[in-house]
Amino acid sequence: MDGFMNWFFAFMTSFLEAIWKGISGLFGAISFLFNFPLIFDQLARYKNDFNALGWMLCVLTFLLTYGIFAGIVFLITLAVRKYIRFRHTLVGNEDLLEEIADLHRDVVRLNAEKERIINMKIDPTGVTYDQLRDMFEENRADIDIPEQNDTEEKTTTEGEQTISAGSPEDKRFFRLSAVDDKYTYYVAPEYDRTMSLSEICDDIRNFSCSRSNLYYEIKTIRLMIAGLASTKLILLQGISGTGKTSLPYMLGKYFQNDATIASVQPSWRDRTELFGYFNEFTKKFNETEVLKRIYEASYNDDINVIILDEMNIARVEYYFAEMLSILEMPNAEEWKIELVPSSWPNDPAHLPDGKLQIPQNVWYIGTANNDDSTFAVSDKVYDRALVINLDSKGVPFEAPDTKPKFISYSYVEELYEKAVAEHPVSKTMLENIGKLDLYVIEKFRIAFGNRIMKQLQIFVPVFVACGGTELEGIDYILATKVFRKFEGLNLSLIRDEIRGLILFMDSLFGKGEMKECIDYLQRLQKTMY
């Protein structure tokens, strides 16, 4: 044991002496830099042997020495300040998230309180509806209830509910019943069946310019029309003021069927915000404009546009979850949403068994701002939607006065089918995409997936029919559907692999031809430094 203690004492003594020498050496170097009497004394001893070059080197030595020391002090100070700011930002973000969570809880609580107040009917005497109902049940045997006229009311077999067959106000789906009445004597307009997809794209662009002074690149219009061939959901994202909401709004104006705008609220959490809900107390269904528009679309062959404004101010995968699943079903006959569990005799005509059939002629276009007030859009939404980035204002141009058109949805669908038949993705491109898929799987562990390939084989032919090129269409799909997934990877580890990926795409598709993909990957590289 004595041997160990002797060794331990010797080891710790040497260790502490080394630390002290390091600290004293550091402070000794700093004290020497500012010990000007000693420095000038050294200079006095040797200056007599200096020539002109010696004096120049002497001055340069002083400048470099003190410059390097000042630079080191500055970098240390800058690092400390950045760390302090980072800690402040981190703490501030945590506080903000807590405050947002508190606000969400307050909104839910206030909505529940509002619903409770609405559902509570108060009698002037101070007796509540529930109390009156209990009193009625207790004395029911002593009350003489007159027989009801069958022409005025009829009773359902669903429980003990009495449903009036009189005025529309007594129906539980008031707005949808009004749509039934509206289309009783409906006559469809004369639809234009002469335009091609490229002419429609040019016409929409010129219409927006001549009628509303809204300027969009022709590629943006082509992406919109081609995207709606491959999916019913378009996501327009970018900075404010670039015309994200105006674009689908003008689309409705052009087709002479105004778009329905649903302003998404931060409190939206489920599908009832989008479609409404059945109030068990009033026995009425609280219908929304979105529900009315979807129901009305089943009566016509128009192109119906629904705008989900500020789509990501609430979580899209919450309130739009059921629609995301329905729009993925291959059989359109299965596109149904159950609004109520059973049907009543005076329910709307197109609501069999309380189920709403989602018609094909509805396009859903959401707008999204990417800032601190919004939620990040999940991969589930990105995979099912086509993303169009609007990051700059349109450049003004001259356009002839262009009138709106009546173009039916069925005619546009025919143009889509014709485009897919006439402009299929070439075999060479499909082989190159397959090679790129294998490369990305090997290097990045990311696959294209069947959904992306299915969308690509519809989107690209329609994009070509709209006036674009095959390579442009493939480039855009790969950039927005595949390489966007790289954001979820550790960018510092794939920095060198990205350079190799760009070179591999150049070898497959031609040097610099995949512009969207290369630009996106280069932006990712910049964020790594």
- pLDDT tens figures, 471-508: 999 999 999 999 988 887 777 778 788 889 999 999 99
The tens digit of pLDDT for each residue in 369-380 reads 877 778 888 888
Q: What is the pLDDT, as a whole number, of residue 31? A: 75
The tens digit of pLDDT for each residue in 214-241 reads 999 999 999 999 999 999 999 999 888 8
- Give the lowest-confidence range in 191-195, 199-203, 389-393, 463-467: 389-393
406-410 average pLDDT score: 96
How far, CA to CA in Å, does 517 sit from each of 18, 36, 167, 392, 475? 55, 60, 60, 19, 6
Check pLDDT > 70 for residue 168: no
How far, CA to CA in Å, does 80 sit from each of 72, 85, 86, 329, 528? 12, 9, 10, 55, 21
How many Å apart are CA 280 and CA 110, to the nearest integer? Answer: 19
The tens digit of pLDDT for each residue in 335-369 reads 999 999 988 989 999 999 999 999 999 999 999 98
Helix or strand run (H / E) with residue 520: helix 515-526
Q: Which fold has domain 197-389?
A: Rossmann fold (3.40.50)
Mean pLDDT of the chain: 84
Three-class secondary structure of residue 467 per DSSP: coil
Determine whether 3 is exposed, middle or buried from the number of CB atoms within 10 Å of its CB (0-12, 13-18, 19+): exposed
The residue type of 110 is L
Check pLDDT > 90 for residue 22: no
160-177 average pLDDT score: 64
Check pLDDT > 60 for residue 163: no
The tens digit of pLDDT for each residue in 195-208 reads 999 999 999 999 99
How far, CA to CA in Å, does 411 sit from each of 281, 363, 406, 423, 451? 45, 15, 11, 18, 25
Check pLDDT > 70 for residue 154: no
446-450 average pLDDT score: 84
The tens digit of pLDDT for each residue in 294-338 reads 999 999 999 999 999 999 999 999 999 999 999 989 898 999 999
Cβ-Cβ contacts under 8 Å for 298 (sequence gap 6 or more): 350, 357, 359
Q: What is the pLDDT, as a whole number, of residue 413? A: 97
Q: What is the pLDDT, as a whole number, of residue 210? A: 95
Tokens 């539980």 -> residue: 172
CB 339 within 8 Å of CB 275 = yes
103-132 average pLDDT score: 62
Check pLDDT > 90 for residue 17: no
How many Å apart are CA 152 and CA 43, to the nearest integer? Answer: 117
Q: Which of the four pLDDT bands, split at 50, 70 and 90, describes residue 121?
A: very low
The answer to whether the predicted template modeling score (pTM) of the entire model surpasses 0.85 is: no
With a pLDDT cut of 90, the percent of the chain lying above it is 53
